[in-house]
Amino acid sequence: MSPRQDLLQLISQLAYQEGEFILSSGAKSSYYINCKTVTLHPQGAYLTGQMCQALLSPDVVAVAGLTLGADPLVTAIALVSATTAHPVSGLIIRKEPKGHGARSQIEGPLPPPGSFVTVIEDVVTTGKSLGLAVTVLRSAGYRVEQGITLVDRLEGGADYLRGMGVQLTALFHLPEIQAHYRQR
């Protein structure tokens, strides 16, 4: 199988479930997808890092995302990138600034203001989590024009981000995962 097929297999096997679920938004759903089970899996982390790193624009110097969903993705991409001609740093964004120490909201080796940073998320629904990451990064002086997600649930997130000037690329769209899950 190809790396993309291997990752699709892991997502449909480990991350996707059907049943009755309440989402973080409070909405009910007949399915749930939790990609942390994939991004924290050794093969899943390597594959996501490899595939996401290959999508980065050449001018990007760091990848960033909101803690906790993006933490393993950011780490995987930064780690895989160390073996390429285009290494990037990883940044983790807190939803709120830390209440002690330097009171930072962005953790990691901070690039100079004006640098290009790509936002990362495991699953995009409305795009609001990535939107918050974009807002925090731009407030810190970074240029954010690209977003990458493992799965786009196709519920308006890409349009929301486009409205912020961010082009979202998804490795997978929900219908592909659902079809693969049902074929197993």
Map out the domains of the chain with their CATH numbers.
35-172 (3.40.50.2020)
Q: What is the pLDDT of residue 7?
A: 98
Tell me phi and psi for residue 54, to 5 degrees: -65, -20
What pLDDT is recorded for position 102? 59
Q: Give me the pLDDT at residue 126, please.
A: 92
Sign of the Cα torsion 40, 34, 74, 148 reads positive
> What pLDDT sits at residue 27?
79
Is the separation of the CB atoms in 110 and 92 below 8 Å? Answer: no
What are the Cα distances from residue 148, in Å, to 65, 112, 161? 10, 22, 11
- Residue among 13, 11, 134, 120 at smallest CA distance from 68: 120
Cβ-based neighbour number of residue 45 at 10 Å: 19
Grouped pLDDT means (10 residues each) for the chain, 184 residues? 95 96 83 96 97 97 95 97 96 79 83 98 94 97 98 96 98 97 90
pLDDT confidence of residue 127: 95
DSSP classification of residue 16: E
pLDDT score for 95:
84
The pTM for the full model equals: 0.94
Q: What is the pLDDT of residue 182?
A: 93
